[in-house]
Amino acid sequence: MATSQISIASNSISRFTNFASKPTSASNLFSIRPAIPRISTTRSLSVNSVANNQKQIVKDPISEEEDASSDSVASFTPDAASIAASIKYHAEFTPSFSPEGFDSPKAYFATAESVRDALIINWNATYDYYEKINVKQAYYLSMEFLQGRALLNAIGNLELSGPYAEALTRLGHDLENVAREEPDAALGNGGLGRLASCFLDSLATLNYPAWGYGIRYKYGLFKQTITKDGQEEVAENWLEMGNPWEIVRNDISYPVKFYGKVVSGSDGKKHWIGGEDIMAVAYDVPIPGYKTKTTINLRLWSTKVSPQEFDLSAYNAGEHSKAYEAHTNAEKICYVLYPGDESREGKILRLKQQYTLCSASLQDIIGRFERRSGRLVNWNEFPEKVAVQMNDTHPTLCIPELMRILIDVMGMSWKEAWDITQRTVAYTNHTVLPEALEKWNFELMQTLLPRHVEIIETIDKELIDTIVSECGTEDLDLLQKKLQEMRILDNFEFPASVMELFLKEEESSAVDSDFENEIKNEGDGIIDQVDETSTKEDESVNTEEEEEEEEEEEEETEEKVIKPKRSELLKPNPKLPAVVRMANLCVVGGRAVNGVAEIHSEIVKQEVFNEFYKLWPKKFQNKTNGVTPRRWIRFCNPELSKIITKWTGTDDWVLDTEKLAELRKFADNEDLQTEWRAAKRNNKLKVASLIKEKTGYVVSPDAMFDIQVKRIHEYKRQLLNTMGIVYRYKKMKEMSAEERKAKFVPRVCIFGGKAFATYVQAKRIVKFITDVGATINHDAEIGNLLKVVFIPDYNVSVAEALIPASELSQHISTAGMEASGTSNMKFSMNGCVLIGTLDGANVEIREEVGEENFFLFGARAHEIADLRKERAEGKFVPDPRFEEVKTYVRSGAFGPYNYGELMGSLEGNEGFGRADYFLVGKDFPSYIECQEEVDEAYRDQKRWTRMSILNTAGSFKFSSDRTIREYAKDIWNIRPVELPGK
């Protein structure tokens, strides 16, 4: 087995793909030119106070000349004066703006660069120490990291919010106003990316050695605008002014190859040659922990090609597009998150993104492992030093890529490489939706990644052998079922050895059939002889019963002829493409598979991957999601945080959320309830201002704030919510002013979320919500009794405002379809009462906060299949109130837009886009009756406040700190590493 070390010198030749690469040197991992000039040739950092020209020397925490006992992170807490001086310094000497003036955007950049100085000291120390002790690390690979704004989070974690606020006041600015200048990083879209960011926060806070790896998207998903036509998409401009939090590592770049061909060399190895070569360049973002010096890293990859790829002769000849074609092809990989994949080009671009993430990250991880190992690399120790977590199926190519590097570059045998891979990589499943379990066209993948397809084919062949060995060949029906469900390659030829098993069965059946026919013919002869002795009258008689029996026998014979042979069923369908089932590859190649909520993990085991679960039950785990209490209570809801600290007697709850349970003792205390309601109302006032700013609508802070914010999707059922609002509105219109005031509690119904650009039905739902809002909000007769607001371009910053102000939050997905959800946890933490189905983490939230503090409705997960079957059989009878709403919508009450397609999707018994697959009509009666219970509860503000307090008190389980501890213990096998400090 090869043990030679990959060169770590800059500009060295990489052996990962046998073409040029620029991996980094160890000493340069986090070494950058500091904002304040150095005054020494040693590794100390000097901080120059512009205000008074004083110099403070911060001793470097790690020095090779010192022994381990002297390793430490310098303890230096800046005051407002030194922070103000640092901000002024960056405004002058690290300029992103012209020297004139010092307005808010410029103040933001200078402030962020000042904070980054503090982070870099901890950042360098963290990884210097990890390098020194060669600790095992977890590497979290995700296509999304939805970070949100970094400034307030960073200074909060550094415990410098007060000094920074004072420093900016001295400079003529307000911290909150300056923080608003920061755009949200457009690196994600929904819960997947937000979860990943929460995990990084918890990893740093709990001192776990870890990295995040992702893609540096130039435009993110898109910026959503709402017009009279509904949702429109424009390119996100988050990088337009630059990003002060990132540091480009031009010395850290890795080659990534596409296309080409695979040849066998004289050395016996496979070589992937030719094709299209690009470079992945590292951009690093520091992730600070709370009340700790530990600062971990999020490494984002951007793509480019070398200047030599620019065709100067073509450019001079006027063929400009041809001249920079290679640059365009490379750069567009990182333009957009989830490019539309309706076209072949879109599919190729998505696959390129996924492979870029996997290849660059693994090269980086392996290079670090080799560097830390020294002269002699023991590859058997790789899984003891490295844990790779795939966040959903997007990073699945980690499996064949790691195999390719270990076999083709490191010279390992298949067995050695497969053992290492299976002990290194783990997979988190985030969905039960079939369309979200990625399947890649085999031919497309073979064209783009020919060597990886060879490896996947071998893995698939070994899997088939394992299934046959474990299942046996006695029950071929069962074997066929397992093979068709579990194979990685779908609609693909089976190996000859497998086909022979079924052909032998058919041959045996044919022999048996011939033998039976012979016996039958002999018997017929005997019968004929007997018949000859019969009377002529009997010969002429042919009863109706005998004729019917003969007809049935003929039909059975016809059926037997028509029924296809099993071997035919196993052959690929030439009308359908062969595909690679990425989720199956994850399960086969990973050491662990986890769902993200208890109910979801059971569905994963019993339905999605049941055959795999029966084969490898120990692989499957549950890791219920969590969210960071720092960002999602402590920083976004400071008023509530102060109340929690006051009544629990400590602020330890920020790190130990189990202390939130102490609030249960005071849930009926009138003083606490008064303070609680006051904090909620102040947050509602802020949201009322936000709504006015974003939409122009004026809403009353005295109304209930009813919020549903999440990705727009049919299974999340924003349509159910909106139809419930329409029913409410119609009933109001049928009543007198006195009646409706007595019947209904005033509500502001708030929506937010993006519909994917090519998801037509989701965009119709957005249009429907905005049309309903436009009609209701301008109805003077209804006034403040009901308002409907769609906040455009929903993101983390909007969530940080909405969630603290929420009173009712809707988590109403069709049962069994939401893996977990994380927004439900954030709402509950902030004292919001949930209305929802028994789906995802709702199940566990309801258990923790108390059934009486959760509004439950709708069908249960185990009922869904039978309900859909009932619908297909034409047995479903819709509730009259549901039909009433559909008729009202079609009447044109909400404008001239034709909602026939949208309403039609809720009708019929079968067919694509029909038959109400997500059971809106089935759950509608239960939903509106539950909403009546909500109104009743809200009228009793003492009861409602108690419910709110108990939601916060019961949310302690849903901290991402708890989730990360479980991952670290059960999957990654890593332990906290605290930096030595003074």
SS3 of residue 905 by DSSP: coil
**Which two three-digit tokens encode residue 359?**
């290849």
Q: How does DSSP assign 18-60, residue by residue? A: SS--BPPPGGGSS----SSPP--SSS-EEEE-TTT--EEEE--
Buried residues in 843-881 as b, exposed as e (16+ CB within 10 A): bbbbebbeeebbbbbbbebeebeebbeebeeeebebeee
Render 107-143 in DSSP notation, one character per residue: HHHHHHHHHHHHHHHHHHHHHHHHHHHT--EEEEE-S
Sign of the dihedral through C-alpha 914, 915, 921, 923: negative
Judge whether 395 and 354 are in contact, CB under 8 Å: yes
Which neighbouring-strand residues pair with 254?
A: 280
Residues belonging to the active site: 430, 710-711, 716, 822, 826
Q: For residue 169, count other CB atoms closer than 10 A to its CB.
A: 13
Q: How are beta strands 247-258 and 276-288 bridged, if at all?
A: antiparallel
- The amino acid that residue 275 corresponds to is G
Q: How far apart are CA 502 and CA 148, in angstroms?
A: 56
Residue 790, SS3 per DSSP: strand
d(CA 685, CA 159): 27
The DSSP symbol for 631 reads I
SS3 of 860, please? Answer: coil
Using the structure block, give the residue that is written with the tokens 């052909």: 503
Asked if 78 and 160 touch (Cβ cutoff 8 Å), the reply is yes
| DSSP conformational letter for 627 | B
Residue tagged 């950058």 (tokens): 32
Which amino acid does the sequence have at 269?
Answer: K
**Who contacts 58 (Cβ-Cβ below 8 Å, separation ≥6)?**
44, 45, 46, 47, 74, 76, 121
What is the C-alpha to C-alpha distance for residues 899 and 878, in angstroms, rounded to an integer? 19
Q: What is the DSSP string of 285-312?
A: EEEEPTTSS-EEEEEEEEEE--GGGS-H
Estimate to the nearest angstrom the gap between the alpha carbon of 371 and the chain centroid: 32
Give the angle subtended at the CA of 818 by the CAs of 816 and 821, to the nearest 5°: 140
Give Rg (Cα) of the chain. 32
Report the candidate in 60, 234, 194, 181 with the shortest Cα–Cα distance to residue 632: 194
Which residues, other chains included, contact 13 with Cβ-Cβ below 8 Å and sequence gap of 6+? 7, 20, 21
Q: What are phi and psi of 276, to 5 degrees?
A: -110, 125
Cα(311)–Cα(323) distance, integer angstroms: 4
Length of the chain: 982
Running DSSP on this structure, what letter comes out for residue 73?
B
Provide the sign of the torsion angle of the four alpha carbons 648, 664, 672, 634, taken in this order: positive
DSSP string, 923-938: HHHHHHHHHHHHHHHH
* Nearest alpha-carbon partner for 340 in 712, 756, 713: 756
Structure tokens, 224: 């959503």
**At what angle are helices 476-486 and 450-471 packed, to 10 degrees?**
150
HSE of 492, CA atoms in CB hemisphere, 13 A: 22
